[in-house]
Structure 1
């Protein structure tokens, strides 16, 4: 059923990867028992290559497992002590999916005339997932009779928490907890959950501000919206090539 739901929403994949977890292996065995050769024939006819990771090697799927964990954590925090209706929950999940798939993957110049950053949505949809609705919600909207306003406010909560969970995967820390060095002229992403959801401003570092101990913790970044001053822990350096 999961494969059929995926195909119905995203089209037929050419390759599927999954780990050797008990649930996946057991489901594979049950499907083969129930449908005999029908499952493998379907995959063969659709040119789907289904691959399992080697046994006892879940770390080989760390890239997607970490992302799944970040999303689950953000959703759990967002929905703590809240019981939204089915319609609000479906909208929240769809918005969360769009936000995760709109994260930038490659460098694009901060020039407003340049092409936008490449995102997972480009691979899934052939284009970006678009900008969110330009509406400002408040905590009062969680009690609103309007379902869409409740869903949008919950999405704001998800965005802030998800950026908080996702940022450490973008900015690896050294053993002493310090962020990687950022120099004047570096291209960076600004990852800030307080910005409008789905916002990933890009720009170039124009100034650094060391503290009394000589350690730089704040920088100015020139973006298309002007110069923004941000802590280094919210800046993600983009490789020049």
Structure 2
């Protein structure tokens, strides 16, 4: 059923990666028993490849499991002690989907200009063009206007999801090692939970300030809004794709 919903919204995929959970394995067995060779024939005619990761190897699905975990954790906090109506919850989930798909994956350089590359570029061919509404406060929950409630919930989700997702952009240190220092001309994301939701400030490092031990802990970042001085804990380096 989830594959049908995905195909209805995004089109038929060319490759499906699935873990070896009992629900997926059981669904695969039941579909094969019910449709006989029909499922394989349909997948072959549409050039769809369905692959299971090896059993007892959930870490091989880490590329999607980590992201799913951040979204679940953010929703758990956002909806704590709240029971929105089905329509409001559905809208919130779509807002969350849009925020996750607007995250920069990397950046491209063309004629000396930087542009972030997001999942939306692969889904709709461009970055998200949704407008950022005015900031609301929790007083919106006492109003009868449902659209204001869902916007406020979206802001709660955004703030919490940033706390869950952004640490994953900085690789964990192995024992006895340290993060690679940021350097001049590195392109980074500026981690700012106070920014409006869906806004990802990106800039280029113009100066770094190493300590006596040689570790860079502060850097100046040139952004569209001016030069900002930030601790490296609030900066996430982006990898480059040269066009």
TM-score, with normalisation over the residues of structure 1?
Answer: 0.89
User: d(CA) in 2 for partners of 1:23 and 1:31?
Assistant: 12
Written as runs of structure 1 = structure 2, the 5 A alignment for 1:24-173 is: 24-108=24-108, 114=113, 116-173=115-172
Alpha carbons of structure 1 residues 239 and 79: separation in structure 2 relative to 1, 3 Å: same
Following superposition, the deviation at residue 6 of structure 1 comes to 0.7
Structure 1: state its 5+ residue gaps: none
- Are the counterparts in 2 of residues 183 and 208 from structure 1 also a CA contact under 8 Å? yes
TM-align CA RMSD: 2.4
TM-score scaled by length of structure 2: 0.89
Question: Aligned partners of 1:189, 1:179: CA distance in 2, in Å?
Answer: 16
Q: SS at 1:117's partner residue?
A: strand
Asked if structure 2 preserves the Cα contact closer than 8 Å seen for 1:210 and 1:216, the reply is yes
Other-structure match for 1:187: 187
Q: 1:52 to 1:130 in 2, by over 3 A?
A: same
Instruction: Give the gaps of 5 or more residues in structure 2.
Output: none
Paired residues, what number?
240
User: Which shifted more, 60-69 or 226-235?
Assistant: 226-235
Partner of 1:15 in structure 2?
A: 15
Summarize the Cα distance change of 1:49–1:240 in structure 2 as closer, same or farther, 3 Å threshold: closer
Distance 1:38 1:145, change over 3 A: same
1:6-26 CA distances to partner (integer Å, 9 max, x unpaired)?
A: 110100111101011111101
Cα deviation, residue 133, structure 1: 2.9
> Is the 2:181–2:215 contact (alpha carbons within 8 Å) kept by the matching residues of 1?
no
Between stretches 138-147 and 34-43, larger displacement belongs to 34-43
Contact 2:188–2:202 (Cα < 8 Å) also in 1: yes
Quick one: structure 1 residues 123 and 130, their matched pair in 2 at CA, closer, same or farther if it must change by over 3 Å? same
